[in-house]
Structure 1
Amino acid sequence: GGTSVVSQPPAEPHPLLTPHLERVAPMDDFFKPTKPEYQFEGRREPVEQALMSGREAWWKLAQLLPSVPQASGAAGAHEASLRGEAAFRMIENHEAVLRDVCNPSKTHNIIGIPLKQAELVRVPMEGAYYASQCMREVCRRLIGDKPGTEACKENLDGTPDAAKVWVATCLYLMCRIQAHKDEMPGRAPDYAYNAVFPMRAVLQEVALHAMGMGPQ
């Protein structure tokens, strides 16, 4: 007789790979208050202003989750669940990410702990508005082609400063984010393992776009 095959129940999806927001709270409730430890060296006004001016745009992106299978450009080569994980993580943690990208300290991170990747080049604080804008465009592309994403498109304003900050933001995050503990011993991974790949791919695409070499 033939060999019997015992069917296995389907594996439960990894919670990090199925991000969703069943209900988006009102904007005033959606973002948690700034953690006091973020301001241990005092307020950094360009960053505070970028966070405040970008609140509505970040909220609109959150409403567009989850990601959909259809996606243009670099995002199209990656599964929607992985793109969704990457976008969700950045949207959820955009304040900490922006503060990290624009951290002026050469020795300590945004909560006063010694830097583990001090060699990475961060974005000057004065570029916080453009850095936040760039991060939103990365998330928008990761979400995919669905109603509402085109209205959230972020555009370069044509100035050299904007393009430089977009490129610097992408390069920093491409080096900064990690998927496995061995990439940076002593620091927890930022994403579920496979979700880093769509994030890095779209960061590279947006950097090329800012240099006038990638998809618009």
Structure 2
Amino acid sequence: MIVSNLDENTYEILKVRYQDSIQSGVLKDEFKEHYETDLSFNENRFEINYDYMQDLFAKFKRDKTAENKEKLIKSLAILSEADQEIALDIINSNDISDYMDLISEINKVKASRLDEKIKDYAELFGLDFIKLKEIYIDAKSEIDLNKGNRLVDLINLSDKKKVQDYYKVPFWQGKTKLYDDIKIFVLNQNI
């Protein structure tokens, strides 16, 4: 079973799509068995029948027709829009053996993009990448941001010339601006 967060609107769309597939006979023609799914909504999580998803994936890998690709893409509706885009790129360019490999590859791409984003930001101001990444991952609120004075320490070790050149002010003024910019960068996380 794959467990994922799901809002009620998306769940209702998926439930209707699944029920329509069962009633129309589409699933019976394509698969040897009907997959029983608990169709009750749980706000905290929704479990999708892994076997159903895996069968769609395997069918596409065997026969890469537009129809099979469309069915596979529709099965990705459980993923966020950003994850769906990554999944499409992976499906189109890689030879993934199964659905779990796809999910694993999505996570690798997301981790790589996050590292790249943090690295670029750290290089811009001469910040320690590892310390900035720890703050980025750990800080979920403004209180967490400077826990143990870690953000102030990070800024004090930044490249003075880079900070001055970027903000076009003396370093002591640039530190305040950098603090505010890091706060925005960390607390408004969007990949």
- The bucket for the TM-score relative to the shorter chain is under 0.3
- Give the TM-score taking structure 1 as reference length: 0.23
Report which of the two has the higher share of helix. Answer: 2
Larger radius of gyration: 2
